[in-house]
Structure 1
Amino acid sequence: MRTHESTREPARRVEAGTARIRSATVTRQGERWFCSFSVEVDRADPGRARSSSAVGVDLGVTSLAVLSTGEVIANPKYLEAARRQLRSATRATGIATGRSAFTRRGSTPTP
């Protein structure tokens, strides 16, 4: 039998009693058989890290966030950068193929 992932870790946890198999599903697709296991694992929750100071965050429209300390985090300008790149690429494509509106008319553009 071959497995897609290593079964050593789940087998060790089941033997140690820190995990248990909830269900097993056996299916057949074509000439192959598959078995899927649902395993419940007991994990130690490390607890929340406590910091000595708290900071409030105000999410806004003009800026991404403003902290209670007064620090302003600016909005990322992905859309503007993408528009600039698209505009440049579109011009380059029109010039390279000679298929711009100016070339098709064969005259200078009228204002």
Structure 2
Amino acid sequence: MSDITRIEPGARMSQAVVHNGVAWLAGQVGKPGASVTEQTEAILARIDALLAEVNSDKSRLLQATIWLASMDDFAEMNAVWDAWVDPANPPARACGESRLATPDYKVEILITAAVKG
């Protein structure tokens, strides 16, 4: 029996992998072409759903890595992030600029979280 759980596995990747009480989420993106705000909201909703599926939640975030297609969107993304993140339990976080899969993607977020019990 495997001690590794893969959530929504595909040929290339899984949306989440759980091992030894830690969940690693794949990079999440929003609807291509949507605004930074809309993409960030969609990404965080998807993160909430994946965390629930692995028996975790945003209060258990360990690390977040955020990629923006342009750092000019930093304040807009942060406005959504700040309204979502648990202020009593913020993760370690990094944010940088990177060319994403297509120009229609403006935000990608990767999460590592502790799993409950």
TM-score class, shorter: under 0.3
Query: What TM-score, normalized by structure 2, do the two folds share?
Result: 0.25
Larger RCO (CA under 8 A, 6+ residues apart):
2
Higher alpha-carbon Rg: 1
User: Per residue, is there more strand in 1 or in 2?
Assistant: 2
Query: What TM-score, normalized by structure 1, do the two folds share?
Result: 0.26
